[in-house]
Amino acid sequence: MDLAYLREHPAHLPTFLTHQRIRETPVAGGNICAAARLTLDDGHSVFTKSWPEGAGRPVPEGFFAAEAAGLRWLREAGAVGVPEVIVALPELLALDWVEPGEPTPSAAERFGRDLADLHRAGAPAFGATWPGFIGALPQDNTLDDRGWSTWFAERRLAPYLRRSVDSGALTGADAALVEQVIGRLGEFGGDEPAARIHGDLWPGNALWGADERVWLIDPAAHGGHRETDLAQLALFGGVPHLARVLAAYREAWPLPDGWRERVPLHQLHLLLVHTAMFGGGYRDAVVQVARVALGGVERATVDR
């Protein structure tokens, strides 16, 4: 099987894999999927993701279709690096291989400019035209043309807060703290029209390529607030050369006043996803960013 054949007959890929007709090398694939590098007969490499055997439940309906739709939508902007979708089947996804490289200051600056171009491509409304996932959890992508703060509260914070409380990852007191943030979202400012965002842009989903580009992988793409992507890049130790990324971004497209104070607010979504999906190990992070977010809006209110 070569790349041309694979493009023409994507449904044949599982059969070739089952009968070991393609060289397959396992690679790191994150916390959810099994991943491999396939070497085709023409020497081309392809990255595949599949639902792992023994996961305890079948692949959620539409899981890989959602990722494929998001990748294609991000790629359409012609801005930042996004791998091409080669195969999208209910049980697996195959993408063009990106050769990993080292993070460099010049790549970081290009990434900042490219990310600004991606966001500027825009979206018709908040949400997306396909059902969403973030990690293994469903994400409500119902298109919504109301203001950002209302949409973010109802579609991105409240659902994962409920899941986190129901699973016991957050206490009632924790929930009350987050509910204060949700109740005051309109006071944070910074509302903007929907941008075209990755939606799950923690540092592990920014792949530094050997071509001196940063490539976006594993998206939860939708129309959202551009500050969400930027805030997520600072989570879990931060992407390499973060200051250069942000400086280049702001030079290409300045951010509205108060963006620094809103960083914890935008991070709260992904941290709530983590408590909902992985449990109480992320509780302290949720509580901390909620408190910092409230402190920021209090200072902003005083300043005004």
pLDDT along the chain (304 residues), means of 10: 91 85 81 89 93 80 96 98 96 95 97 98 97 96 94 97 98 97 94 97 97 97 98 97 98 96 97 97 97 81 51
pLDDT of residue 297: 72
- Are residues 180 and 43 part of one domain? no
Gyration radius (Cα) of the chain, Å: 20
Decide if 181 contacts 265 (C-beta within 8 A): yes
Q: Of 96, 117, 150, which closes a domain?
A: 96
Question: In terms of domains, do 39 and 141 share one?
Answer: no
Q: Of 96, 126, 154, at which residue does a domain stop?
A: 96
3-state secondary structure 73-84: HHHHCCCCECCC
Residues 118 and 184 in one domain: yes
The pLDDT, as a whole number, for residue 19 is 76
Task: Identify whether residues 27 and 45 lie together within a single domain.
Answer: yes
* Per-residue exposure over 232-258, b if at least 16 CB sit within 10 Å of its own CB, e if not: bbbbeeebbbbebbbebbeebeebeeb
For residues 162 and 80, membership in a common domain is answered with no
Hey, what are 123's tokens? Answer: 């979206």
**pTM for the whole thing?**
0.94
Pair 168, 263 in one domain: yes
- Pair 112, 87 in one domain: no
Tokens 């599982």 belong to residue: 14
Query: Tell me, what amino acid is at 163?
Result: R
The values of phi and psi at residue 147, to 5°, are -65, 155
Helices assigned H by DSSP within 256-282: 259-278
Do 226 and 134 share a domain, yes or no? Answer: yes
CATH code at 180?
A: 3.90.1200.10
Contact 103, 237 (CB under 8 A): no
Neighbours of 200 (CB within 10 A): 25
CA 238 – CA 241 distance, rounded (Å)? 8
- 165 with 82, same domain: the answer is no
Number of structural domains (the chain) is 2
d(CA 276, CA 272): 6
Distance (Å, whole) CA 29 – CA 205: 11
Using CA of residue 127, residue 262, residue 250, residue 245, what is the dihedral sign?
negative
Q: Which domain holds residue 11?
A: 3-96
pLDDT of residue 296: 75
Distance CA 214, CA 228 (A): 18
Residues in the chain: 304
Answer with the one of 38, 61, 96 that is the final residue of a domain: 96
CATH of the domain at 55: 3.30.200.20
pLDDT recorded at residue 32: 84
67 and 130 both lie in a single domain:
no
> Cα–Cα distance between 133 and 42 in angstroms, integer?
34
* CA-to-CA separations, 193 to 24, 145, 183, in angstroms, rounded: 44, 9, 21
201 and 118 in a single domain? The answer is yes
Nearest to 84 by CA among 10, 24, 134, 144: 10
Tokens of 150: 């209302």
Do residue 59 and residue 177 come from a single domain? no
